[in-house]
Chain A
Amino acid sequence: MVHISDGILSLPVLAAGWAITAVLIAVALWWSKRKGSIAEEIPKLSVMTAAFFVASLVHIAVGPTSVHLILCGLVGIMLGILAYPAIFIGLLLQAFLFGHGGVTVLGVNTVDMGIPALVAYGIFKAGNKLTPSKSMTSKASILGALAGGIAVALAVSLTAGMLYTLGEEYAWAIKALILYHIPIIVIEAIIAGSVVAFLARVKPELIGG
């Protein structure tokens, strides 16, 4: 539901989406190259992209419709800034293989889901810095849940914002979009929290980009 289809948004919005996406992918690749080799990140990158790719098939019935998992928060926490290109590739595959979203709106959809991933990473990292003393697992689960939930809420808000550029007649649809995603926010917070807590205990070096 957070995937916007082809032929809905106006041309300036589509162009802006592509511009932001192109810049952010370039920055992400440049940044991670500067930090060191991308080579060791690639297996993790593809596993997280695969998880993101199939997450959209997990449907949960809400009211008259159904919504699906997004997993942008978890991808962000796990991959850091590289989450942005990962989500771009995931969305590309979803568009071609599942018909979720579309090709011309790929830029906008990547903005809608990629920026929340980056925000989730920021929250997780900042939270870790601010509370250095507490036990690793419980802290990771709380921060993971927080970042995962906020990321989905932000993704829905961004999608709503993009649809809002179409005008007033979409207003009620936007309200529905936000309302139906409340369960997903809770579910994704739980998923992100438990996955991050598990990894923090078993293999903490996997978390973060």
Chain B
Amino acid sequence: MKIRKVIVLFAALMLLSCLCLSISVSVVSAHRLHVVHKISEIEIEAYFGGGSPCRDANVTVYDNEGNLYLEGNTDEEGKFRFPPKMGINEYRVVVDAVHMPGHRAEAVINLSQETAGGAAGVMGTEMPLYMRVIAGFGYLTGLAGAALAYTGWKLKKKYENEK
């Protein structure tokens, strides 16, 4: 008998609290609203030219004073996430591709300068590969042209001297 009463009371309470909650949603503007934020993760991505991810690479993170902050490895997608340290806005991240000895890259992350959009922009703003290939051919053509122009000028001078 007593137990049943308790259950009924409990159910009633639950119902009441649900009701209160649904009402409180509509009257929330009457209360003070707090918005706080916390950056819980910095994500870095390491990839090779051409876009293939650099997986299982050693990642070392240093703070703005050059002290070792933490170490880890990139995942299958070449990504590595780490929590920022309280009060430190600048990090130097060094990625060492252990499977490709001799391949290393680093980046400086400055939280105070980055907006959410800016952070997304930092990732993957690379000239497309075909454009870089064309650029390379362009440089080579220019170099060859300059060298040919030089030798041509010399030949002309020699010819004029002989005349």
Q: Would you give the 0/1 interface string for B82-123, flagging 1 where the beta carbon is closer than 8 Å to chain A?
A: 000000000000000011111111100000000000000000
Contact of B135 among A7, A97, A174 (CB under 8 A): A97
Query: How many A-B Cβ pairs are below 8 Å?
Result: 82
How many chain A residues touch the partner (CB < 8 A)? 38
B18 on interface, CB distance cutoff 8 Å: no
Q: Once the chains bind, are A173 and B136 in contact (CB under 8 Å)?
A: no
B146 to chain A, nearest CB (A): 10
**Are the CB atoms of B132 and A97 closer together than 8 Å?**
yes
B102, A89: Cβ atoms closer than 8 Å: no
The reply to whether the CB of A49 lies closer than 8 angstroms to some CB of chain B is: yes
Given A5-B102, A99-B49, A176-B101: A42 touches B148 (CB 8 Å cut-off):
yes
The answer to the question of B24 belonging to the interface, with a C-beta cut-off of 8 Å to chain A, is: no
The 8 A CB mask of B40-75 against A (1 = contact, 0 = none) is 000000000110100110000000000000000000
Q: Given A46-B140, A53-B140, is A98 in contact with B132 using a C-beta cutoff of 8 Å? A: yes
Q: 13 A-B residue contacts at CB 8 Å?
A: A5-B103, A38-B147, A39-B151, A42-B151, A45-B144, A50-B137, A54-B136, A65-B100, A89-B143, A93-B140, A98-B132, A100-B49, A159-B102
> Which 4 residue pairs across A and B have the least CB separation, nearest first?
A173-B101, A39-B151, A46-B144, A4-B102
User: Could you list which residues of chain B lie within 8 angstroms of chain A, going by C-beta atoms?
Assistant: 49-50, 52, 55-56, 98-106, 129, 132-133, 135-137, 139-141, 143-144, 147-148, 151-152, 155
